[in-house]
Amino acid sequence: MSDTIISTRDLTVELGGNPVLRDMSLTVAPGEVVAVVGPNGSGKSTLLRCLAGLQPVTSGEVEVFGAPPSDDARFWGRVALLTDEPAWYPGLTAREHLELMAAVHATTRMTVEAALEVFALVERADATPLNLSTGQRQRLALAAALLRPSTLLLLDEPERGLDAAFRTGLTDLLADYANEGGTIVMATHDQALATSARQISPSGVTA
């Protein structure tokens, strides 16, 4: 097995004519948990989007699983992405969203009922996402990302909207994922999440 999951070399991204990432070089090994930290606008989401193949690079190289990210079933079969704008299916309940996620994968990391339990959604399982609170919606998005099998988790501010108790639980859930051999790269403003991870800034230096 390769000892590198992610590798960027001299990655530069300009947006609107301004450099957001500049000559960034990063290597991530299997089982690592990496926290991308930095102030608002420093390029954390941009880096995650590059790793997901959603942001064209201005120059330099990005490789995930030894090749540039590609928008195909093989890539997305291995990568679970949590963005700040998950797509919800109108009319489907929280439970049905998880059942849908389970149905399209040959295996799952946990059952739908276990995910509802772990993410404290049992009592709101029959509500549609738009009738959930911000924190409950975020828990549903995390449940969907962690229920499905993957080997790389890309998380953009997973702590968004979560109360203190659940943030602690999230640290443990991410540690479990890494202990199973999964790799995590997350943009975060949460000190506790960042402390338990290898921290980098979007400029590529260790934070």
* Closest CB 104 distance from ligand ATP, rounded Å: 29
Q: Binder to ligand ATP among 40, 87, 90, 104 (CB under 6 A)?
A: 40
* Closest CB 26 distance from ligand ATP, rounded Å: 15
Question: Which is it for the CA torsion 154, 137, 144, 100, positive or negative?
Answer: negative
Question: 27: helix, coil or strand?
Answer: strand
Spell out the residues 6+ positions from residue 148 whose beta carbon is closer than 8 angstroms to its own.
Answer: 80, 101, 102, 105, 108, 109
* Closest CB 156 distance from ligand ATP, rounded Å: 7
16 binds ligand ATP (CB under 6 A): yes
42 binds ligand ATP (CB under 6 A): yes
Q: What dihedral angle (degrees, nearest 10) is formed by the CA atoms of 95, 150, 86, 204?
A: 150
Cα–Cα dist 40/7, whole Å? 24
185 binds ligand ATP (CB under 6 A): no
44 binds ligand ATP (CB under 6 A): yes
Q: Binder to ligand ATP among 26, 28, 33, 45 (CB under 6 A)?
A: 45
* Closest CB 54 distance from ligand ATP, rounded Å: 12
Give φ, ψ of 154 to 5 degrees: -110, 115
Positions in the binding site for ligand ATP (CB under 6 A):
15-16, 20, 38, 40-46, 187
